[in-house]
Each structure stands twice: as structure tokens, then as C-alpha cells.
Structure 1
Amino acid sequence: MDITSLKKDIIEYSKTIGIDKIGFAAPTTFEEMKLRLYRQQELQYQSGFEEKDIEKRTEPALIFDRPKSIISIALAYPSKMKTHVVSKKGERRGIFCRASWGTDYHVVLRDRLKKLEEYIASKVPEARFKSMVDTGELVDRAVAERAGIGWSGKNCSIITPEFGSYVYLGEMITTIPFEPDTPMEDRCGSCNKCVDVCPTGALIQGGQLDAQKCIAFVTQTKGFLADEFREKLGNRLYGCDTCQTVCPENKGKDFHFHEEMEPDPEIAKPLLKPLLTMSNRDFKEKYGHISGSWRGKKPIQRNAIIALAHYKDDTAIHELIKVLKDDPRPVLRGTAAWALGKIGGPDALDALKRASAVEKDEEVLNEIDKGMEFFKDNPESNITV
């Protein structure tokens, strides 16, 4: 078997199936990443969504018998919408991060990896593979960095010269000993924009992220959102793009190579009020195909309520009152109470008083108190609490 020729064939074939960049890496232990992960664990900076076993995350031989190489792939995704929708009074909109535009990227990358496996198997029938996208054991970013896809930026994303950091990553461990590619030199230099503008200070320093403070993580939690994050959330429904949009390497980067990644503006930037009363079936039908739906509708609805408060959208008061009165979920009732206080007005105050008299849940009662405090803190409202 001529492995050099096979590698060239694979690179050429990858272009025909919609893989925008491909690299090859040695399957040895990711020592530096292992040290970083143990440090993250020690500092309690992990999100809790990742594989718990750090050894498995950094030692390919623990998850695959006799690995010889790892193939890393990258697909570029759009950073701008071709069709725009406008958020305006009475019709305020939220936003899903760019990594949740179009079809769930896990589905898209698995399709590409499966085709790549089939192609390689047609050339080397005895070859074995293990492919992963995001939820696998290995750290996608560490593999991509070693395979020369890009460098690991201070924003904890892989940054490619061609596509910036707007790329999805996946990898395949194989039994074929491909020649490794050369890792790329770090080009962030003295630039520190992503760290400086992180809304919650989650980027502790270049390359170190406290996931517990990261808005991308916070939007996916299911409980009450801590007060410190509510003011920072803005109109974000899922994810956060700030550390990418400020990156100079992303300036002018916008690629529309893959039809399934094209965003539907009404889904990527949806109206907020209809989200509040959406049924499970309707949510699944409209949003079930995007990656931002994986935690269900509850976090999205909670974030939509916070976004309405961010806009101080008084046209949403009656919808929020309905949530406060009728929603069976304490997190939604309580967040609605807080939002009513933020928006203000006599109807909001009256609803909070009524809810205070009948609500049984302690956490919700606490949120009602928070909502009523906004009226005390705003003497110009001319409303007596």
C-alpha cells in the first residue's frame, strides 16, 4: 500500500464531498491538553457537558485499539445571513449563535466522515475507523491543532487562515499510518480583543475559559439564571459569538459552501413572544433540526423572557403575565416575574402582587420579590408598591 499516494487521494476526494479542510495527525498522547484539562478540573472551569475521563480525552489508544493516525476535518459555516429580519418594537427578536444556524452540524459532519470512511474502506478494506464530532472523547480542537487545520486562538477556538474560526471540526482515528502534517504557528500575537470584550469575563486569559461563566454555556442551563448573567444575556437565546465577531482574523470571513448550513432567518433570529407559549410539538417541528434545540425548549423560553426584559418590551406584558399565572414550570414563572419587574408598568405590578398571594414555590416567590424591588428602585414610575 502506497500511503503517500493514498493520502493525496483522500485529500482530493474530501474536496468532492464538501470537506473544506483536512489534516493528518499522530495518535500519540495530547500531553499539553491533558495538563490543561486537569488544571481546568482543579479550578472547576469545566462545563459538565464534556467527557468526564480526561485520560480518554487525551489518549487515543484508550478509546481505539492500536491507532496509527488521526484525520481531522473542518467545514466552514456562514457568519452572515443572506436575508435579514429586523427586530422592532412589538416584534422583538432573539438570536441563535452562528454555530446553530442551519442543520445541526453534528449531522452534517457525521455525513462527511461516513463518506470518508467508505472511501478509505474501498481502498483499504482491512482498515478500521472511529469517527467523532464534538461529543466524542477526544478534544476536537487539540486534534485540529496538531493536524495543521489552524492554531488554537486565545478565544479557545481553532482559527484557520482561510475561514477564520467559523469552522466545524470532526476527526477520525484510523489504523492507517498516514504521515502527520505540520502544526500551524500561533498568529494571535499581542491581540487580546476576545479576552477584553468577553461579556462575563469567562475568558480568564488567552486560551483559558471558565465554562461556568461562558454565555454559550449559560444559555444551555435549565435552572434559574444567576442575576449576574441576566444583564449580560441581551437577546441571546443560545450560544454567544462575541469572542468570534471581535477577532480580526474573522473580519470579512463569510462562506456559504454548504446548503444545509444556510440559516432560516425566522429560526436563527426568531420572534420572542411566540416562543413563550410554544408547544413541545411545535418547538420540535420548527427547531428540532438545529443544534441549539438539543436541551429542549425550556432554556430557550427562559432566555426569551430575559430578552424581552432586556428590550423592556411592554407589548409582552400580557404574555408574561400569562406565563407567571399559568406555566407549570417554576423557572419560567419566576423568570417571568423578574422580567415584569424589569419592564414595569401598573399591569406588571398588579400581576406580581396577585402572584405573590397565591404562589407556593419559594424560588418563584423570591423572583416575585426581585420583580417588585424594581418598582421601589424606580421612584419615577409613580407606582406605589
Structure 2
Amino acid sequence: MAYEELKQEIIDYSKSIGIDKVGFASVDVFTELKSRLERQQDLGYQSGFEKGSVEERTNPVKLMPEAQSIISIALAYPSRLKDAPKSKKGERRGLFCRASWGKDYHDILRDKLEKLAAFLSEKVYGFNYRSMVDTGELSDRAVAERAGIGFSGKNTTLITPEFGSYVYLGEMITNVPFTPDEPVEDSCGECTKCIDACPTGALVQGGQLNAQKCIAFLTQTKDFLPDEYRGKLGNRIYGCDTCQLVCPKNRKKDFHLHPEMEPDPEVVKPKLVPLLSMSNREFKEKFGDIAGSWRGKKPIQRNAIIALGHYKEESAVEELIRLMKKDPRPVIRGTAAWSLGKIGTEEAFEAIEAAKQIETDEQVQFEMDKGLEFKETARQHA
């Protein structure tokens, strides 16, 4: 079979089903990535969300013995929110990162890859494949880089010439020997804007991320958020876009090519106080279709509580007192106590002191003490 002709057919077909970029890569071992991952492990920089061993994550043949090539796809997503509601006193709002706007991208890309697989099944006898999006063993970014979709920026995102880094990535390992495409030249140059702007210093150096310090990772954890990151969170309730927003390659990049990716402003920039009393069912109804809901409501609510403290939102005091006294989850009770202290009204401090008398969880008591420390700090500055 003329694989070059088929390759062109795939490129044409992919455009017809709404794939914005497609590239082809070899199944050689990702040697540079392998050494980087081993170093990440040694330094304790991994998030813990990674799937598979280093060997599986860097050797496609380990995942599919008959692998001959990898098809990489990219879809551009919007970077600007139309008609964004304002966050104002008495009605503060949180923010989901751009990669979580619109319908969950995992579903969108899996659907495109399945269509691509069906197309190839009709063209190639004995066609076999394995697809993955974000949660598979392979690094979507490393595959896309090898396939010529873009280059890996210092902010550890894949940067495409056309769409900047605002792209979702997925790939398909196949048993078809397609010719690999040429990689795109790295053009970050001397720029370090992303490293300089990272709120927590998670970008240790160009291309190296300490996931344990990254706000995008921290917003997805379920335990108490370490003290040193609470002030850095701002109003982010899921993910972080800072290193993308400051990137010169993303200037004026805003694409609205896929209706299903269009964000609902009330979903991606929701009011914070109503979030705190949502049932699981209500949370699923409102946020269940977006990628940022995958960890459930607890991390989102914890982050919303911290954001209310960040705003010193006095109108939230009553609801935060209710959570501190009655919520069955220690992380929520304790974070509410901390946030009440940060807001710093007399009512808030009195409520913390009263609740502390009946609280039995040591960690929650510790958070209550932190909340009361704000009173002493306020006194000193008075």
C-alpha cells in the first residue's frame, strides 16, 4: 500500500472531522524524556497522577508490541471568555483554568481518535491501534513534539506556531509504518517570562516543573492546602494559566473553532458562596461536563473557601461559620476556620473560638489556631 498517499488522506480526513493539527511520529524510545522522568522521580517532582512505569511511558512498543507509528492530534481551545461576569464585593467568583472550559476535552479528543480509527480500519487490513488522551502512559506533549505539532516550551506546554499553547493533545499508536514528520524548532530563545511569573516557583528551570509546587496540581489535591500556597491561590478554584498567559507565543491567540468547547461563563467563573452548600448531585449537574470536575466537589469547595479568605469577603462569614461547625469533612471545617480568620471580623473570631471548644479533630483545631492568629496579627497592625 502507498502509505504516503494514505497519510495525506488521513490529513484531509482529520480536517473534515474537526482536528486542527495532525502529525506522525516514530515509535522509537523517548530517550530524552526517559532521563527527564527518572530525574523527576529522584527529585520528588512528580504529581502522583502519572500512569505507568517510566519504561511504559517512554517506550510505545511496551504498550503495543506491533507498534509501527504514532498519530498525534491537536485541537485548539478558546483563551478568552466572552461576556465574563464580574467578581464584585458581595458576589465573589472563582475561576476554572482555560483547559477546563467547555465540554470535557478527554471526551472530545477520544471521539475524534475513534473516528480516525474507524477511517483507518476501512483502509488497512488488520489495522490495530491504541489511543490515549492525557490519562494514558505516553506523554502527549513528547509525542506531539516528535510529530511536528509544536515544540516544548519552557513552561512545559506544547507550543504550536498557529495556536500557541492553547491546544488539547491526543495520540494513537498504530501498526501502520507511516513516515515520521519533522519536529518544529524550539523558539523560546532567551525568554523566561513563564519562569519569572510562576506564582509558586514551580518552574524550576526552562522545561522542568516541580508538580508538587504547581498550582494546577495543588488545586486538585484533596487534603489541607499547605500554608505557603494559600496566599498564591487567589481566586483559582481549578488549574492555573499564568505561565500560558504571559507567554509571548500566546499573544492574540484565541480560537473558537469547536462549539462544544465554548465556555459557559456561569460554570467556569462561578459564584463562590453558592458552591459551598452544593450537594453532590447539584455539583454534578452544574460542573459534571467539564474536565475540572473529575476530582469531585471537595477540592473545588476547599479552594473556594480559600478564595473567599483571599477576598476578605465578609458576606461569606455566615456560610463559612456553618461549614466550620457542621460540615462532616475535616478539611472543609478546618479551611473554613482559617478563611474566617483571614476575613477577620469580630463575628468570625468569636465563632472560631466557640467552635474550637467542641472540635475533636486535631488538624481542624490546628487550623482554628491559625485562624485566631490573624486576630493577633491584626491587633499588632492596628
Q: Indicate whether 1:254 and 2:227 are aligned.
A: no
Structure 2 residue identity aligned to 1:49:
F
After superposition, the C-alpha distances for 1:93-131 in whole angstroms (9 at most, x for unaligned) are 000000000111000000000000001111113110100
**Offset of residue 330 of structure 1:** 0.3
Structure 2 residue identity aligned to 1:74: A
1:44-100 superposed Cα distances (whole Å, 9 cap, x missing partner)? 000000014000000001010221100000000000012211101100000000000
Which 4+ runs in 1 deviate beyond 3 A? none
Residue ranges of structure 2 left out of the alignment (5+ in a row)? none
**Are the equivalent residues in 2 in contact too, given 1:72–1:172 (CA < 8 A)?**
yes
Deviations 1:115-161 (A, max 9, x none): 00001111113110100000111111110000000000000000000
Q: Partner residue of 2:34?
A: 34
- The within-5 A match list for 1:1-385 is 1-379=1-379
Aligned with 2:75: secondary structure?
strand
Q: Is this contact kept in 2: 1:97–1:240, CA < 8 A?
A: yes
Distance in 1 separating the partners of 2:58 and 2:204 = 23
Letter in 1 for 2:278: M
Residues in 1 aligned to 2:282 and 2:66: alpha-carbon distance in whole angstroms = 46
2:212 is paired with a residue whose SS is coil
Of all paired residues, the percent bearing the same amino acid is 65
> Given residue 365 of structure 1, which amino acid in structure 2 is its aligned partner?
Q
Give aligned pairs, total.
382
Hey, what's the Cα distance between the residues in 1 that align with 2:103 and 2:377? 45
Q: Distance in 1 between matches of 2:91 and 2:2?
A: 61
Q: Equivalents in 1 of 2:32, 2:248: separation in Å?
A: 26
The CA deviation string for residues 165-202 of structure 1, in whole angstroms up to 9 with x for no partner, is 00000000001100100001100000000001100000
Instruction: Kindly provide the CA deviation profile for residues 355-383 of structure 1, in whole angstroms up to 9, marking residues without a partner as x.
Output: 1111000000000000000000111787x
Cα deviation, 1:319-358, whole Å, max 9, x if unaligned, reads 1000001100000000000000000111101101101111
Q: How far apart, in 1, do the equivalents of 2:43 and 2:274 lie?
A: 40
CA–CA distance in structure 2, aligned partners of residues 275 and 246 of structure 1: 29
1-structure distance, mates of 2:105, 2:270: 20
The one-letter code of the counterpart of 2:275 is L
The range that moved more, 219-228 or 122-131, is 122-131
SS in 2 for 1:212: helix
Question: Which consecutive unaligned segments of at least 5 residues does structure 1 have?
Answer: none
| Structure 1 CA distance for aligned equivalents of residues 52 and 318 of structure 2 | 44
Residue 377 of structure 1 aligns to a residue whose secondary structure is helix
Q: Report the TM-score when normalising by structure 1.
A: 0.98
Name the amino acid aligned to 1:159.
I
Secondary structure, in 3 states, of the residue corresponding to 2:211? coil
Shift in Å, 1:43: 0.3
Q: Give the RMSD, CA atoms, in angstroms.
A: 0.8
**Alpha-carbon distance in 2 for matches of 1:362, 1:380:** 27
CA contact (8 A) 1:67 1:174 kept: yes
